[in-house]
Amino acid sequence: MSRYFDASQISLAGRSFSQAEQLAGRYFRVTPGEWKKCRYDVKTLAYLDKQEVREGAFAHLCRYEYGEEPKPEGRQFYRICLQDDRILNAIDRAHSFIRPAPLLLYIAAHELVHVIRFVRGEGNFDATDAEKANEEEKVHRITRNLLKPITDTDLNLVLECFSDRYQLGDLLQ
Ligand SMILES: [Zn+2]
């Protein structure tokens, strides 16, 4: 049976994304105009469609096209699909070592780095699996640097547990 975030965990996820947006904005020097192009939303497991659910991943990044915009880039938006059950299980398994707040912040920052890189054309959503593995490593490195100004013991543990070799599984199709 799937486990879902409760109300307090959903609001924690929301706060994590706001904080990650601020940190990523500063790190990448994202202008307000550029933020407008970074169209994304965040959904938790209870609100996901079947194809958005990924077992064994913390998050799944989907790209959709919508609207009447003439340019393809203008029609695209990203959906960050949080897999509540996997996240909750990881927290339980680690007992008190992994805290929910730093784990969610790490996931949020990692996903936003993907979105910004895709929108800027620095990462390719339609890449091959080998290229995606490469992109994952890059994104992990960037996420680490981006979080550096606020890294404390708890966040460091999250970063260490999810080392370069660790894949969030978010780009796999
Ligand atoms: Zn990723």
In a domain, 173, yes or no: no
* pLDDT of 47: 96
Quote the domain boundaries for residue 44.
7-161
Strand ranges inside the chain, DSSP E: 40-43, 59-65, 76-82
In a domain, 169, yes or no: no
In a domain, 70, yes or no: yes
In a domain, 172, yes or no: no
How remote is the CA of residue 155 from the centroid of ligand 1, in Å? 18
Rounded CA-CA distance 123/127 in Å is: 8
How remote is the CA of residue 110 from the centroid of ligand 1, in Å? 6
* pLDDT of 93: 87
In a domain, 170, yes or no: no
Domain count of the chain? 1
Q: Which amino acid is at 38?
A: C
What pTM was computed for the model?
0.92
How remote is the CA of residue 46 from the centroid of ligand 1, in Å? 21
In a domain, 76, yes or no: yes
Domain at 94, CATH number: 3.40.390
How remote is the CA of residue 143 from the centroid of ligand 1, in Å? 10
Percent helix, strand, coil in the chain (nearest 5)? Answer: 60, 10, 30
How remote is the CA of residue 109 from the centroid of ligand 1, in Å? 10
How remote is the CA of residue 169 from the centroid of ligand 1, in Å? 6
In a domain, 106, yes or no: yes
Judge whether 52 and 81 are in contact, CB under 8 Å: yes
**Which tokens is 110 given?**
């990692």
* pLDDT of 162: 75
Low pLDDT (below 50) residues in the chain: none
In a domain, 29, yes or no: yes
* pLDDT of 112: 97
How remote is the CA of residue 168 from the centroid of ligand 1, in Å? 5
Task: Provide the CB-side half-sphere exposure for 85 (13 A, CA).
Answer: 10
Query: Does residue 44 sit in helix, strand or coil?
Result: coil
Hey, which residues does 59 pair with through a beta bridge?
82
How remote is the CA of residue 140 from the centroid of ligand 1, in Å? 7
